[in-house]
Amino acid sequence: MTAATARLAHTHDVFNQSTPWADVNLFTTNLPLQDALRLHAPDLPLAGLTALGAEMGSAEMQTHARLANTHKPQLRTHDRFGHRTDVVEFHPSYHALIGAALRHGLHATPWSRTDTAHAHTERAAGFMMFTEAEPSVLCPVSMSYAVTPALRSAGGNPAVWADWSAGLASTQYDPRLALFSQKSALTMGMGMTEKQGGSDVRANTTQAVADGEDAWGPRYRITGHKWFFSAPMCDAFLILAQAPGGLTCFFLPRVVPGGADGSVNNIRIQRLKDKLGNHANASSEVEFIDAIAWRVGEEGRGVAQILEMGTMTRLDCALGTSGLMRQALSIALHHTRQRAAFGKKLIDQPLMRNVLADLALESEAATALSIRLANAFDHKDQSEHEAVMARLLTPVAKFWVCKRGSVFAQEAMECLGGNGYVEEGGEGVMARIYREMPLNSIWEGAGNIMALDLLRAVRRADTAAALADELAPVRGAHPALDRMASALPLRVDAMTTEAEARRLAQDVALAVQAALLVRSAPASVFGAFCDSRLGGDWGYSFGTLGTGADLDALLARALPT
């Protein structure tokens, strides 16, 4: 090749591109999360969260996340000889990720720790940071966390809990399909919805027939199907089925006791769901053919059992969306600090600064509300006020934070332009976040279900007074917050129709977020939030903060340079 040809072959140099947001500590760079923890758990040791933040922000974990999503789970219904197997195979990176989640105790520590009064809050912070790295594998982690109260209570199945509690609390992940007693750790899934019912689980047709009793209590044979069954390679599942006494909750293991190694239960995996996002997690459709299960609670109490579990998983939906918001914001800030256009860095362009500052406000408010809800879980058994706030804020946070997630991700993606829309072999993290965002809004009860849950909460006589008490300490901090704090308890007392419930969920979320920010955030954050979200100095899209907002302060807080 001549020199002239070489010059022609060299078309351009790559420059003005940002670097990956990797090898960063997701905890030490997140001032809003640190301040939320300082408000609710001032004596909480932070070494564990700091270590988790470093691990989850590492390039190694980002690679695992990319591979686990690129190489989706594969269903193997039969082996090559024709034997039924019903096995889901995962990429090794999936196992590396879920192993890390269990190693950090995100599935169980609030139930096993006695050395802290803030176990749910600490786990919440860890769950948010893990979500920043990879949310898909957290489905079985969240479900394992949620089933403990249902199993261990006197109204659950204490006999099953006695045999399974050590495995469900273990931090030594074990992916094998084996009898529970032969594994180092156990995970749980759930199967509630059916084709004809969806959220209306009372329409379930799966049947449970009594089959005697043994050491785990009343045993049943289950025949029917589940339209969403996640995740099918867990060691056991809580499911709903129609017993003679009505809709009932059952414990259904993958391998049932009997013989030295047990026997695989009659769970037939029909197919894996082809989902918009959440690709690393296997969601499935299954059929039960005379499968063996044990009753959890009394016959006819299935809805009550599922509501208790749903409360826990709905907390995780809010936490997960908050974590995804934070990751999207961090990527947008990191990119705009390096990318230049029209003679300036993007982050120095006035319009972009407003967009980023507005996103930062939304992200911090979501973090504040989610951590507040986790804190209520820590104290609801000792405080009537916290019990009421847990009932009230669970549907509120699940509704509002998750609803804001998709539009947040779209705006953050726009900060990267075309680079944000392109996935390029799974390396485009922003596109993966965008596809993931609708999941938490839909899963465990979509918006209307949350609005109905809110109605049930506000119909209790103590709810309006508890909300007034929650907002009382911040009276006088901002006129717009004062107006809303005065009006909300009256609206709660006067709530009569379902049509008003979504607006109420929105306004309770905004008022509580503002009340939290006045206590945990700088005045620039609190003032801009109240002016925009409560005071009306805001448009219909991100990037419309009023001229009084201190954009420099908001951006400096969002991600320190």
Q: What per-residue confidence (pLDDT) applies to 299? A: 96
Q: How confident is the model at residue 461 (pLDDT cuts 50, 70, 90)?
A: confident
Residue 250 has pLDDT above 70, yes or no: yes
Sequence-distant (6+) residues with CB within 8 A of 382 are none
Residue 203 has pLDDT above 80, yes or no: yes
Q: What per-residue confidence (pLDDT) applies to 409? A: 98
Q: What is the pTM of this model?
A: 0.96
Per cent of the chain over pLDDT 90 is: 84
Looking at the DSSP assignment, which residues form a beta bridge with residue 220? 210, 293
Q: Mind listing the pLDDT tens digit for each residue in 308-354?
A: 888 899 999 999 999 999 999 999 999 999 999 999 999 999 999 99
Q: How confident is the model at residue 7 (pLDDT cuts 50, 70, 90)?
A: low
Q: What per-residue confidence (pLDDT) applies to 115? A: 81
C-alpha–C-alpha distance, residues 295 and 23, integer Å: 47
What's the rounded mean pLDDT across residues 233-244? 96
Q: What per-residue confidence (pLDDT) applies to 561? A: 77
H/E segment holding residue 378? helix 350-379
Q: Phi then psi for 392, rounded to 5 degrees?
A: -75, -45
- Residue 225 · residue 193 · CB < 8 Å: no
Q: Mind listing the pLDDT tens digit for each residue in 402-416?
A: 999 999 999 999 999
| CA-based radius of gyration for the chain | 24
Instruction: Tell me which of 424 and 242 has the higher pLDDT.
Output: 242
C-alpha–C-alpha distance, residues 165 and 225, integer Å: 27
Q: What per-residue confidence (pLDDT) applies to 198? A: 82
Q: Mind listing the pLDDT tens digit for each residue in 369-422?
A: 999 999 999 999 999 999 999 999 999 999 999 999 999 999 999 999 998 998
